[in-house]
Amino acid sequence: MSENSYREKGRAVFLAAIMVLSVVAMSAAFAGGAAATDDDLDSGSTYWQGQELNITDADNPPADDEELQIRSYDAGDDDIGGLQDEFSLDGGHAVVETDDLEAGDYVVTLADDRNQAIEFDDGTAELGNASDAYFEITSQDLDVEFDDDQVNDGDSSTTDLDIDSNRGSYSVIVGADGDLDDEELFNIFVDNDSVDQSTLDDIDHVDHADDLYDEIRNQSNTDASTIDEDHEPTHSGYEHYGFGAFNASLYDDSEDDYDELIVLSNINDREEEVDFHGVDADEYEFDFDVVDTTAEDSASIEVVEEDVDGEFDQSVYTQTAGDIVEFTVELEDTDETWIQIGDEDAGFVDVVHVEDDDDEGEVSFKVNTRTLGAHDADTEDVYYDGDDELTSEVHDGVGSTGAVFHDEEVGDQLGDQSDFADYLDELGLISEDASDYRAGTDYQLTRPLQATDYDVAANGNGDFIVDGDGESELDEELDLATLDLTTPGVDSISTWVAPGDDADEDDELDEVADIVTERTDVAEEDRLVIKAEATGLYGALAYHDSDGWDSLDDGFEAGTLDDLITDNHEGINFEVEADDATGNQDPTSLNLGADEDDVFILVDNDAGELYVIVDTSSSDAFDRSIEDGMDFTAELEYETHDDERYEYQTGGGPFDGVYHDAYPYFQADSDQSVSTEFTIVDPAVTFDNLDEDDNVQLEADDEFVVTGETNVAPGSDASVRITNAGDTPSFLHTLDDTEIDSDGTFESESVDLSDRSEGDEGELDFRISGSTIDSADALFVDELETDDEPEETDDEPEETDDEPEETDDEPEETDDEPAEPTDDTTDDTTDDTAEGDDVPGFGVAVALVALLAAAMLALRRQN
């Protein structure tokens, strides 16, 4: 159907016959708010182009059947302009059509006297002045657009429709050139959830938009009505005819083309959702025509067939039992999926429904494998869905996911209720019957999820089947992956140091990794970092922390680890304790009840690493004061019961075990532990270039560099201050750019001391963060004294080289002797490197191993 024919249909349906004597008045104040009908012509009013204006009861001049003209009018110059149209009265009545009138001002004049304007009041005509008689015609704009060019006929079937106009309210006829019938159009524009059913006396039983369509069309047990040509309910007493966000109305079946059109009644600008679910795949052009003006627009959209697909981002997810694993499923033509974790072979099943709530085309969620399937664990303690939305049959309750469960042998019926409990019963995963599971007195697991392989399958339609062999199947499997849970354990523990600061100053692992150096001597005021390579505890930590999942990235309070230790059921122990008690007191130990700025914990769940960071300058970090030379042992232990494995208590929570001190993933009597020792020492420094009186020699040079060695953590904010001493005139040099390398050596920035004279006295202060660690006397010299011992060492190889010349019979002995200093050199290099590389960080240990291998290779070649 063409756009003109739609407009003609609009006239036929919405406008009364031309010969009506009275219509609903629409003044300029309400030009956009009334129903789409004719309007009486009033001078001084504004009308929309395309409206038909009535003249009634014109019993004053002009005379009946007299010719009248519509002329343009310039209100500014009070000038009546050119002819636009002619008409005549018929029995005192006429209809003025405005389709061909451009936007502007107009007057009606006598045909034989163009200067004689006719003034109208409620359609009644009388002679008057043009300045009082003119009326305005303005054009309505209409812009209609779908937000998406393409939708499908399934789960991705919705998009927004934006309707915009310069008119306040109006009604719009909608059709698709006959490609969609009125029922399809109605269902596209009406979302049953948006229907205010409280206004419909008998419509409570209507569940879907297509049901509502049938109710309206068949007039069965509702007060919803179709509309007639005057835009009024077809049946008296039936008040409701516009439904949904677009006020969609149906024509009565007595109207022409009723089965190809709908009307959006009395709407204003809006952007609302339309739904093409169930519409045949095709390209559709929608025509939108305002019923009483010339405004029109069209919008196109393509509906394609739904092709639901999904794919895991990994085929195998490997993680340690008790830790956190993350799944991602990329989705196509759908925003939801059902995922079954486990099966009858693994001895556990949960079914979760995940919805892509942020429209990224994928769903991602994390699983705490320590609490998955645990008794009475809340969903938020088991799953983290981020920006998506997840529900679980195990943890939200039976029936929460909308999944449907079938028995292949007997059709749709599965047990008593065909629900998840019956599904578990059929798969043999619960010991009692389904009713006990529903009542919360029967569970799948007797202990936390153990190390084994678990199938993880994505389902497109939520239908799950038990086949004839008692095995689970997915009706529409999208993809299959494997969760490989491995056995946890404790591997190693070591101590590192970092520049002094609050324990939680660096709350990102990458930041900490850049500033630490492995050491067993820890200078007081530095930060102590205890690194444990261990798995199978991060899910428990996340559960016990008040910030839950966020703590895995943001860090834990030390109290979280303390809670886990003192639980007395999990079997995880961590202790940092001095080796010797003082007097009658208990040994000094790390205070896990301290604040985060005193003791702070970071974890790397993926790498299986625990970092306990301690501010040794804090008096609260340990339960007693620490002293120079105090030796400590740090130990991490997974403890087991002597005779029994971990089991959940009946009626208990996720961490209520029957037996105390039983790590959930080990057999009975199979403890594991690792430990390491470290020593607290006072910060200290020694300077290079000492003379025989232990004065530091400072060379009166323009680029002198102060060097030495310290036990303060590499990377600390170090500086060297040089001041005068004795009778030497006053001077001061502060060398802020002083770097401590990982081997403990330091080097200042260069300083110009060329203005000093030999014999001048000075003092050196080594400072950390503005506080002096130690001082030394200094003496200025023209040239640094050198140690003669290296010269003697240099002479020894020369004597060795001479020995082979004395005899030609012992070439092999000659070859062997030079090898000795070479071996010594290699060993020295290796030892120096063992103190640390030039750059602090966890990568130093790897470098040490490489250097040691190089040294061994050199030695073998010498031999």
pLDDT tens for 786-812 read 665 544 444 444 444 444 444 444 444
Q: For residue range 166-212, what is the model confidence (pLDDT) as tens digits? A: 999 999 999 999 999 999 999 999 976 555 554 444 444 344 455 77
> What CA–CA distance (Å, rounded) separates 186 from 153?
16
Q: Are 501 and 615 in contact (CB under 8 A)?
A: yes
Sequence-ordered alpha helix ranges (H) in 157-286: 182-189, 209-218
User: Stretch 580-588: mean pLDDT, rounded?
Assistant: 80
Reference 179, options 297, 295, 302, 272; nearest CA is 302
- Predicted confidence at residue 842, as pLDDT, reads 63
Tokens coding 445:
């697991």
- Predicted confidence at residue 270, as pLDDT, reads 95
- Higher-pLDDT residue of 688 and 192 is 688
**440 in the Ramachandran plot: left (φ > 0), alpha (ψ -120 to 50) or beta?**
left
Share in percent of the chain as helix, strand, coil (round to 5): 15, 35, 45
Q: For residue range 526-552, what is the model confidence (pLDDT) as tens digits? A: 999 999 999 999 999 999 999 999 999
Tokens coding 363:
């769903």
Residues facing 735 on adjacent strands? 720
Q: For residue range 350-390, what is the model confidence (pLDDT) as tens digits? A: 999 999 998 899 999 999 999 999 988 999 999 999 999 99
- Relative to beta strand 316-320, strand 477-486 is parallel
> What CA–CA distance (Å, rounded) separates 150 from 284?
10
Q: What is the mean pLDDT of the chain?
A: 84
What's the CATH class of domain 685-781? mainly beta
Ramachandran angles phi, psi of 805, nearest 5°: -70, -25
What is the edge-to-edge ordering of all strands in the sheet holding 517-518?
517-518, 490-498, 527-534, 609-615, 599-604, 556-557
The pLDDT-based confidence of 432 (bands split at 50, 70, 90) is confident
Q: Are 191 and 245 in contact (CB under 8 A)?
A: yes
Reference 73, options 113, 109, 125; nearest CA is 109
Q: Are 24 and 51 in contact (CB under 8 A)?
A: no
> What CA–CA distance (Å, rounded) separates 613 from 595?
12
Ramachandran angles phi, psi of 479, nearest 5°: -165, 160
pTM (2 d.p.): 0.68
Q: Are 426 and 414 in contact (CB under 8 A)?
A: yes
Q: For residue range 698-729, what is the model confidence (pLDDT) as tens digits? A: 999 999 999 999 999 999 999 999 999 998 89
Q: Distances from the Cα of 167 to the Cαs of 53, 143, 477, in angstroms?
A: 18, 11, 51
Reference 816, options 804, 807, 806; nearest CA is 804
CATH match for 38-138 among 2.60.40, 1.20.1630, 1.10.3470, 1.20.1070: 2.60.40
- Predicted confidence at residue 124, as pLDDT, reads 74
Domain with CATH 2.60.40.10 in the chain: 685-781
User: Stretch 607-614: mean pLDDT, rounded?
Assistant: 98
Reference 778, options 689, 661, 648, 681; nearest CA is 689
User: Stretch 78-84: mean pLDDT, rounded?
Assistant: 92
Residue-level length of the chain: 863
Q: For residue range 549-580, what is the model confidence (pLDDT) as tens digits? A: 999 999 999 999 999 998 767 999 999 999 97
Q: 190 CB contacts (<8 Å, ≥6 apart)?
A: 209, 212, 213, 243, 244, 246, 248
Q: For residue range 95-108, what is the model confidence (pLDDT) as tens digits? A: 889 999 999 999 99
